[in-house]
Amino acid sequence: MHLHVLPVRTAGAADNMATDFLLLQRYPEPADARFRHYDWRGPAFTFGFGQKIAFVREKLSADLPADLCRRPTGGGIVDHRNDWTYALVIPRGHPLEEARATQSYRVVHECLAEALRALGQPVEVKAVCEPPENGGECAPGPGVCFQRAELFDVVNPQTGAKIAGAAQKRNKHGLLFQGSIEKNAVGAVDWEAFGAGFTAALGRALGAGAVETPWPEFAEHELEGLVEQYSAPEWNDYR
């Protein structure tokens, strides 16, 4: 198995969400893992698949000029105005794809923290969490991302501030992992060097060599159809 590292692309929120989902559903080499870092055409927010739109609108300013889209993955509201965003797909049958969500979350964030530490950033993966008031398992919550660090988030050990979080979706094709690093939470970083270090660490964790790979030839109608879906009020407002 290889880890295909795809070129950077810049797009709007619906396009980015559609592309991530298409990488999970229709990748022409489904036995290989794939990774992409991407940018945003303008100010954007995404929110978790299970979140209620009324909650999202309550948390965001009504007059905020930003692109807004529901993700295919879970998690909370993410502000993409100054973040480093990525998507990772682990194919069906890989041990990490079959692991519990907390395990895959921890492994990917350990790779991310390793790459940041190599560039002199004081970060760690949060190993303990404050149990929910009503009991239950410690796990990433669906509120507003970066307001509070959850179990296995990447944090600054000195301040406890959250640096990186993510959300996941599993289906018959594999595991889609969508993650974000808040740039304001770290010092000066060579992001190109970070990307190389991160994908190398992911390759080692997956037992796969990281290989720079051109964009696959997707059927044009498939991407257009998904962008239309992710742009529609029926998708963003249905909860």
pLDDT for 113 beyond 80: yes
Residue 160's pLDDT is 86
CB 171 within 8 A of CB 90: no
Residue 132 confidence class, pLDDT cut points 50, 70, 90: low
| 162-184 per-position pLDDT tens digit | 999 999 999 999 999 999 999 99
**Taking the CA atoms of the chain, what radius of gyration do you get in angstroms?**
17
- Reported as a pLDDT band with limits 50, 70 and 90, residue 1 is very high
- Paired with 103 in beta bridges are none
User: Tens digits of per-residue pLDDT, 47-90?
Assistant: 999 999 999 988 887 767 689 999 999 999 999 999 999 999 99
Pairing state between β 174-182 and 209-212: unpaired
Measure the CA–CA gap between 222 and 215, rounded to whole angstroms: 15
Q: Which long-range contacts (CB under 8 A, 24 or more apart) does 200-203 make?
A: 200/115, 201/110, 201/111, 201/112, 201/114, 201/115, 202/3, 202/33, 202/35, 202/88, 202/108, 202/111, 203/3
Model confidence over 209-235: pLDDT tens digits? 999 999 998 877 888 999 999 999 999
Q: What integer pLDDT is reported at residue 64 of this predicted model?
A: 74
pLDDT at 128: 79
C-beta atoms surrounding 30 within 10 Å: 15
Judge whether 40 and 20 are in contact, CB under 8 Å.
Answer: no
Please give the pLDDT value at position 149: 75
3-class DSSP state for residue 189? coil
Q: Which CATH architecture has domain 2-236?
A: 2-Layer Sandwich (3.30)
User: Does residue 141 carry a pLDDT above 90?
Assistant: no
**Quick one: tokens of 21?**
């989902």
